[in-house]
Chain A
Amino acid sequence: MGKKNAHKGANPPSGFRKYAGLLFRSQTGTIGFFILLMILIIAIFAPHIAPYDPTSVDLRGMRMPPFWMEGGSMEHILGCDNLGRDLWSRIIYGTRVSLLVGILSVLLAGAFGIVLGMVSGFYGSWIDSVIMRVTDAFFAIPRILMAMVVLMVAGSSVGVLILIIGGTSWVPFARMIRSEVLALKEKEFVKCSRSIGTKGTVILLRHILPNVMSSFIVLCTMNIAGNIISEAALSFLGVGIQPPTVSWGVMLAEGRKFLGTHWWIGTFPGIAITISVLGIMFLGNWLRDVLDPRNQGIK
């Protein structure tokens, strides 16, 4: 005979409210979240936020320094580049490219990696060996190099950029998912499922996939940061985004030429990249703490 739980207080928050509460308890998590939110808003509403068109040239503003320096003005807060284009507007529009390439390439890499990882870990034997050797091969080739070669041959469009960055960054996904699957495979509930004859694919989708989801989400988040830097690097080298499309990497390449005289052109885009990556990393770390499989239990 059990006593009924007579909780008179409010029910513990679940779902969204619970996560919101957890988020705001973490300093870095909150910072990360707001940075990311800010970037998203800037990217989506760029035309409304940017004071100027990023490609428009203001002859009077050519090489104008930021407003706090002599010769600067509030018309161009962060100054202008060598062609007289407003730096702040260009940075705003740069968020679009970074987010687009970053997120899409991660989705691509994640999809590819998670499939390979699950297949490799679950079916084992020669499939695993083959996939692992392929993974090793892709891992050994430095990503930037591979991307450069492909972009050289296929041309530098945004689409190719997303494909190649995604196509070279799937290795961490495959490896991590594989090791999680290997561990899950030994768990009782999987063995039970197999013993009653459930098909492999069904086990993978119904039992294993939900349990690797949390690590997958964390890895996705962290990889967005990495891929944003990859895009910037490739654009910096001249094989990524091509003008007139605005990318922080392209801006850095331009800024490099004018380091001696107009340092701001090369400095602010770098700060923008750093802040974005910081925000994503903070959020990713918070997600990892919160979605720790040890706190989750088996689904």
Chain B
Amino acid sequence: MERQTTLEVRNLNVYFKTAGGNRTQAVRNLSFQVGSGELLGIVGESGCGKSVSSLAIMGLLEFPAIAEADKICLMGTDISKNSREEMRKLRGSELSMIFQEPMTSLNPLFTIGAQLSDTIALHQECGKAEAKRRAVEMLEKVGIPRAEAVYKSYPNELSGGMRQRVMIAIALANSPKLLIADEPTTALDVTIQAQILELMRDLIQDSNTAILFITHDLGVIAEMADRVLVMYAGSIVEEADVMTLFHNCAHPYTQGLLDSTIKVHEIHDELRCIEGVVPSLRDMPSGCAFHPRCPYAQEDCRSQRPELRKTAEGHTVACLHPLRGRWDHD
């Protein structure tokens, strides 16, 4: 199947306006593409700008955050210059988002059904009865038992896992072209996490929805992603397909992330971690943002900021001295 480019982002910059007319850069020159039916994972620690980028794409950023981009193309149409009203029309129908906290993401005073059918009725232009029917169908599709009863119940009557299923139902109800999932399983128990991931995999298998999956959990990336973007301090440091990333990564930060995950089958004497902390937005290091924590840092890393460069087909890295993998590519 010919893959279309669902989302193309070129040079997205997000910054915060601070007191005194200053700016703090949160995301720098973010560029990537996602094709239809593809799942792009975005990996990074807290504060690397992944959530802010997704909010920018959705048009949900609030003052004092400001987003600018050369282009953000959804199915070929540039939406970066859209008005608020135009973005509103896209949200829920072409663009959808799932958030991290299922416990607080649903309005406690409205029934599940009300919160699901209002988006259906809005974007599919159908009557209330029809919207209800489709809503119940959607609830069944996301694996919620006794969908009719759940339709009438309130969020506080459901567990976290169930609520996240509802959120998925809401997000996918109108068959969006792009779904952004911002750490959807982070707040859930591991067993529930597995269920939700499986659900998502099943749902997207048959549809052409492009998915932006944001997480800090490499295990989830390994399971779900086709390709991966690694972000650090507001920029992409590496982009590759998932196999290449795990077996042949090129950026020291990615290597550090991989090393610090605990592998059950290996025995370590001590936990490996990445020394230091993520720099604050206001206090960025000169040159490469990662160099203070990089075990391979060299002189030029301190002064020169690395650009994204291709090391192999479909594999780019922003490093002046990328790592050599277990097998070399030409």
Direct contact of A and B (CB under 8 A): no
